[in-house]
Chain A
Amino acid sequence: MRSVTFLLVAAACAAIVFAVMRWIGNGYVFFAGYVVLQYIVLATAWNILGGYCGYVNFGTAAFFALGAYTTIVLQKLAPIPLPLAMVVGGLVSGVLGLGMGYLTLRLRGAYFSIATLAMAVVAQTLMVNWSLVGGSAGTFIIRPARAPLLGIAYIQYLCLLMLVLSVLTLALARTIERSRLGYGFAAIRDDELAAEASGVPTLRLKLLATTLSGAVMGMAGAPLPFYVTYLDPASAFSLSYAVNTIAMPLIGGTASWPGPMIGAVLIATLQQVATVTISSAVNLLIVGVVLVGFVVAAPNGILGLLQAAHLGRGNRLRLSAVQR
């Protein structure tokens, strides 16, 4: 299936999903749906660097929160329409990704991961000490009642934006996977030294991965202030973002674009249910247990399990576009 076709099909699916949500009509569907969609984007973005390239980013929160804080700063200084703010947030986080990559990508895998964690805390500390965005006390955002132009409830508007972003992100991931770039990423993941010796410009590709990954995470974070209406560094930079965006692709499968989406839908839905029915602490416990369970027992995630089940049919879900 060509990329354009995929994009159209995905857009059609998204339109159907949105229509169903509006038909159900319950406001809660939109609030929960937003979180699930947000994680689809975050998990897929993480996977571009983590699953495709093999570099584990613990600092998801930094890119995500930076997108959110960009929106806040824009609201205070020069309010612009939210879709535009998403683009700006993406640019800011993309630059952060580039910078972080440049500082840390020469490091061996484990050091890179630790450095990403360090960077997230530094970013958080900077926000805590910045009065414009409210410092550690946080800041309030007023969520408008109705969306501009469309007139629907604002939360539905947020969901719609996140749906669009999801479709674009999934299309991006799929396109990368099947392209020359995707093969380069796979080579880096499998054996970076051999990749260099085969002509792959590893540093350049890794920088591209961190920049893309970071930019998409920033775009996912930009609408957050309007969703939560109150944002403080502690929650924006919460480590649970890092856990979730690592757990979801690992559980769903890191090899291909459906994996992070499957993991995100599963875990995010589970979390929404658990938060409402049990408690939010159990929430994280579930993620932790499921993550460890999958990492130990099913290293290739749900995709891997499906693939193993279909082994007889020779059905391969990996980078299998060679013959096409």
Chain B
Amino acid sequence: MLDLFGNALVSGVLLGGFYAAVTIGVSISFGMLDIVNIAHPAFIILGSYCAYIANAWLGIDPIVAGVVLLPAFYLLGAGIYQIYYLCFERRGEQSLRGLAFFFGLLFITEVVLVLVFGVDYRLVEAWYIGPSLHLGVVELPLRLLVPCVVSLALISLLQLFLSRSFIGRGILAVAQDQLALRLMAADPVRIKRIAFGVSIATASVAGAILIVIQPVEPSLGREYIGRVFAICVLGGLGSFAGTVVAAMALGMVESLTATFYGPSWSPAVAFGFLLIALAVRPAGVFGR
């Protein structure tokens, strides 16, 4: 019983580490730029399929592929932001249309993937999918451990970028006070475009590690919408540390629920979390 509990907890933490990578992009776009990019999970699935192609056709390690494709996803993000800005932010439109825009993108992405790849599950092969480390009674599947490590590395790098680089600090500034930024002769639109590009770029790596953890099919993104926003809200918008903590908490609760109550209750966990978080503390645990 104890080892069941222990294993569930450990895999929950590792899974949580992965969830953090999935969420970090939204932490930037929603937490800092106030853009409700509900299509983010679809871009992650897109990243998964890109990693799949690289792996199945070219034999490249999926995570390496994810990293290599970072610039491509960055450009995609920057492009989408440009459209979003021209059509919505500049006009000062109601948030309704912005939400609908991303909702539409979510669907288009998903359906295009269905049309190209079909609805079958796809998976990748790598040397770390399969073996596990054993620490006493606890099993650490490398399938979960490697993505968790990659995720934390990604987030740490992002944190460094935001706090040390000029552009990074510009992003933090635009999150807080656009007018002040403009007065300092930095162009907020350009900064936001870069930030959104970075946000989508994370989807490349997040998607790669997703398909390492589990097989992927196009509609999988929908399951993650709730998780992503639950973690975002719980962890405090824009706080990376909060995101990691909240992600691991969610991972643990989901894992324990699945182990002791059955996996059919798992989807409700994330969303239930979210509802509670919204009811109790919309500012999140670490929020401003």
Q: Do chains A and B touch in the complex (CB under 8 A)?
A: yes
**Residues of A bordering B, CB below 8 Å:** 50, 54, 56, 58, 103-104, 107-111, 113-115, 117-119, 121-122, 124-126, 128-129, 136, 189, 239, 242-243, 246-247, 250, 254, 281-282, 284-285, 287-289, 291-292, 295-296, 299
Of A111, A113, A247, the residue contacting B104 (CB under 8 A) is A247
Question: Is B267 a contact partner of A247 (Cβ separation < 8 A)?
Answer: no
Question: Is A104 a contact partner of B278 (Cβ separation < 8 A)?
Answer: yes
Contacts of A103 in B (CB 8 A): 275, 278-279
Contacts of A119 in B (CB 8 A): 271, 275
Contacts of A124 in B (CB 8 A): 267
30 A-B pairs within 8 Å (CB atoms) are namely A56-B99, A56-B100, A103-B278, A104-B275, A107-B278, A109-B95, A110-B30, A110-B95, A114-B36, A114-B229, A114-B274, A115-B274, A117-B225, A117-B226, A118-B226, A118-B272, A118-B275, A122-B271, A129-B265, A242-B103, A243-B104, A285-B107, A287-B104, A288-B107, A291-B100, A291-B107, A292-B105, A295-B97, A296-B87, A299-B91
Contact string against A for B residues 123-159, beta-carbon threshold 8 Å, 1 for contact and 0 otherwise: 0000000000000000000000000000000000000
For the complex of A and B, the 7 pairs showing the least CB-CB separation, nearest first, are A125-B268, A288-B107, A292-B104, A118-B271, A288-B108, A291-B104, A285-B111
- Cβ of B120 to closest chain A Cβ, rounded Å: 13
Interface of chain B residues 149 through 187 with chain A (CB within 8 A): none
A-B contact count (CB 8 A): 127
Known contacts A111-B233, A125-B265, A296-B101: A56-B107 contact under CB 8 Å: no
Contacts of B271 in A (CB 8 A): 117-119, 121-122, 125
- Cβ of B219 to closest chain A Cβ, rounded Å: 8
Contacts of B38 in A (CB 8 A): 114
Question: Is B274 a contact partner of A118 (Cβ separation < 8 A)?
Answer: yes
Size range of the chain B interface in the assembly: 35 or more
**Residues of B bordering A, CB below 8 Å:** 30, 36, 38, 83, 87, 91, 93-97, 99-101, 103-108, 110-112, 114-115, 222, 225-226, 229-230, 233, 264-265, 267-268, 270-272, 274-275, 278-279, 282
Contacts of A285 in B (CB 8 A): 107-108, 111-112, 115
Contacts of A289 in B (CB 8 A): 104, 108
Known contacts A111-B278, A118-B275: A281-B267 contact under CB 8 Å: no
Question: Is B96 a contact partner of A50 (Cβ separation < 8 A)?
Answer: yes
Contacts of A295 in B (CB 8 A): 87, 97, 100-101, 104
Cα A107 to Cα B114 with chains together (Å): 35
Question: Is B115 a contact partner of A250 (Cβ separation < 8 A)?
Answer: no
- Cβ of B118 to closest chain A Cβ, rounded Å: 9
Question: Is A118 a contact partner of B108 (Cβ separation < 8 A)?
Answer: no
Question: Is A122 a contact partner of B95 (Cβ separation < 8 A)?
Answer: no
Contacts of B107 in A (CB 8 A): 243, 284-285, 287-288, 291
Of A107, A108, A122, A246, the residue contacting B272 (CB under 8 A) is A122
- 9 more contacts with CB within 8 A, not counting A111-B233, A292-B104, are A54-B96, A114-B36, A114-B233, A118-B230, A121-B268, A125-B264, A254-B96, A284-B107, A295-B101
Contacts of A111 in B (CB 8 A): 233, 278, 282
Q: In the complex, which residue of chain B has the Cβ closest to the Cβ of A136?
A: B264
Contacts of A296 in B (CB 8 A): 83, 87, 101
Q: In the complex, which residue of chain A has the Cβ closest to the Cβ of B95?
A: A109
Looking at B83, B103, B267, which has the most chain A CB atoms within 10 Å of its CB?
A: B103
Contacts of B100 in A (CB 8 A): 56, 246-247, 250, 291, 295
Contacts of B112 in A (CB 8 A): 285
- Cβ of A209 to closest chain B Cβ, rounded Å: 14
Q: In the complex, which residue of chain B has the Cβ closest to the Cβ of A286?
A: B111
- Cβ of B99 to closest chain A Cβ, rounded Å: 5
Question: Is A239 a contact partner of B222 (Cβ separation < 8 A)?
Answer: yes
Known contacts A111-B233, A247-B104, A285-B112: A122-B96 contact under CB 8 Å: no
Cα A107 to Cα B95 with chains together (Å): 14
- Cβ of A79 to closest chain B Cβ, rounded Å: 29
Contacts of A250 in B (CB 8 A): 96-97, 100
- Cβ of B90 to closest chain A Cβ, rounded Å: 12
Cα A119 to Cα B268 with chains together (Å): 9
Of B30, B94, B106, B268, the residue contacting A126 (CB under 8 A) is B268
Cα A247 to Cα B97 with chains together (Å): 10
Contacts of A126 in B (CB 8 A): 268
Contacts of B93 in A (CB 8 A): 299
Question: Is B104 a contact partner of A110 (Cβ separation < 8 A)?
Answer: no
Contacts of B226 in A (CB 8 A): 114, 117-118, 121
